[in-house]
Amino acid sequence: MTYPPQNPNEHQQPYGQQPQFQAPIQPKPKKKWPWIVGGVVVLLVIVGMVGGGDKDKEDKAAATVTTSVAVAPLAPKATTTKAAAPTTTTVEPVVVAEVTLPDVAGQNGAIVLDKLKKLGLTNVTTASADLKDTVVLLAANWTVVSIEPAPGTIVAGDDLVVVTMTKQ
Q: What is the CATH number of the domain that holds 129?
A: 3.30.10.20
Domain-embedded: residue 90? no
Inform me whether the pLDDT recorded for 94 exceeds 80.
Answer: no
How many distinct structural domains can be found in the chain?
A: 1
pTM exceeds 0.75, yes or no: no
Strand order of the sheet with strand 160-166?
Answer: 123-128, 160-166, 143-148
Query: pLDDT band at residue 91, thresholds of 50, 70 and 90?
Result: low
**Cα–Cα distance measured from residue 72 to residue 76, given in angstroms and rounded to the nearest whole number:** 8
E-strand ranges in 24-156 read 64-68, 88-92, 98-100, 123-128, 143-148, 154-156
Query: pLDDT band at residue 22, thresholds of 50, 70 and 90?
Result: confident
pLDDT of residue 51: 79
Domain-embedded: residue 143? yes
Mean pLDDT of the 34-52 span: 88
Query: pLDDT band at residue 161, thresholds of 50, 70 and 90?
Result: very high
pLDDT of residue 86: 65
Helices (H), the chain: 33-50, 55-62, 109-119
Domain-embedded: residue 19? no
pLDDT of residue 27: 82
Instruction: Supply the range of the domain harboring residue 116.
Output: 101-166
Query: pLDDT band at residue 115, thresholds of 50, 70 and 90?
Result: very high
Contacts of 150 (CB under 8 A, 6+ apart): 101
Pairing of strands 98-100, 154-156: antiparallel
Question: For residue 87, which amino acid is it?
Answer: T
If phi > 0 it is left, if psi is from -120 to 50 it is alpha, else beta; for residue 104 that is: alpha
166 membership: H or E segment, kind and range: strand 160-166
Q: What values do phi and psi take at 84, rounded to 5?
A: -75, 135
**Cα–Cα distance measured from residue 122 to residue 150, given in angstroms and rounded to the nearest whole number:** 17
